[in-house]
Structure 1
Amino acid sequence: MPTEEFSHSVTVPVPPTRVFDHLADPESYIGLSPLIVAVRDVDAAGEAVRYTAVERFRFGPLRWDNPIRVTMTFPAPGRRLRSDVHSPGRVRLVADVTLTPEGEGTHVNEAVTVSYPKGLRRLVIGQATKVQHYRLAELERRMARG
């Protein structure tokens, strides 16, 4: 299966612990990612949080809810989070978020690795990059609100 990697960064005006706490909570992803409309079956066991996120796609008046399985781990608590996402259609996305103190704020870098069936490249990469940019802009907006 083809695999691609890309990353994007923003700087937010709050300390890394605040950003980490927000991103470590699965409920925070509702609206943080533009497609996520619900989070269910949250299971915080050991050093991982597993949950199902529901992505909602709209096609004119039609909608399709896509349940995705997410496992979030914390390779460096307070500084790094990893989300391993398995979506129907054999799409897999791994997002590594690194938080680096920058003055009184935090530099947030999200590196994404996505693998997908050959025929889905344009759709998967297009959606993944669009969602990543939206998610980091929304994080920046939320953190600026205080």
Structure 2
Amino acid sequence: MPKATLRHTFHVRNTPAALQAHLSQPQSYVGLSPLVIAVKDIRQNGEETRYTSVERFRFLGMVKYDNLIKVTLRSTPRTVEGEVDSPGGVRLDYRFALTERDGGTEVEDTLVVHAWNGPLLGYAAKKARQVQLARAGILTSRLG
């Protein structure tokens, strides 16, 4: 299965604990990803949280499609990570590494996008990169 790895590092003027707490809550991802409009079916299972995320795509500005994706979320004091399984053969592994630095937190956002073929991987990686870059600004605005 082809894959692409995307990394983006940015600074937020808040503590690693505040970022970890925010990123550990499924509800925080509504709007944190510009595509995510809702989360539902949240289940805590030991160290993992599993939930369904609703991503809204618009095609040609008129046709809307709500993509229901299964998300697994795990966190430690310095990381938040997990997996996303999307219908259509796209999977993402994600990790936020949180390091105290310069009166705030350096966030290393890493995404590994997997897809069953090259063209789908190209589309999914392009969308994932757009979301990743937007998320840095949104997270900085929310907590910085």
1:30-60 CA-partner distances (Å, limit 9, x unpaired): 0000000000000011000000000000122
Deviation beyond 3 Å, 4+ runs, structure 1: none
Aligned residue number for residue 136 of structure 2: 136
TM-score (norm 2): 0.95
Measure how far apart 1:11 and its partner are: 0.4
Aligned residue number for residue 63 of structure 2: 62
Amino acid in the other structure paired with 2:43: D
Aligned residue number for residue 71 of structure 1: 72
Aligned residue number for residue 82 of structure 1: 81
1:88-120 CA-partner distances (Å, limit 9, x unpaired): 011100011100001320000011111102131
State the distance in 2 between where 1:113 and 1:123 align.
14
SS at match of 2:109: strand
Task: State, as a whole percentage, how many aligned pairs show the same letter.
Answer: 39
SS at match of 2:111: strand
State the distance in 1 between where 2:74 and 2:56 align.
24
State the distance in 2 between where 1:36 and 1:104 align.
30
Aligned residue number for residue 18 of structure 1: 18
For the Cα contact (< 8 Å) 2:4–2:121, is it kept in 1?
no
SS at match of 1:32: coil
Amino acid in the other structure paired with 1:63: K
Structure 1 unaligned residues grouped into runs of 5+: none
State the distance in 2 between where 1:121 and 1:80 align.
26
**How many residue pairs were aligned?**
142
Amino acid in the other structure paired with 1:26: P
Amino acid in the other structure paired with 2:65: W
Amino acid in the other structure paired with 2:46: G
Structure 2 unaligned residues grouped into runs of 5+: none
Amino acid in the other structure paired with 1:129: R
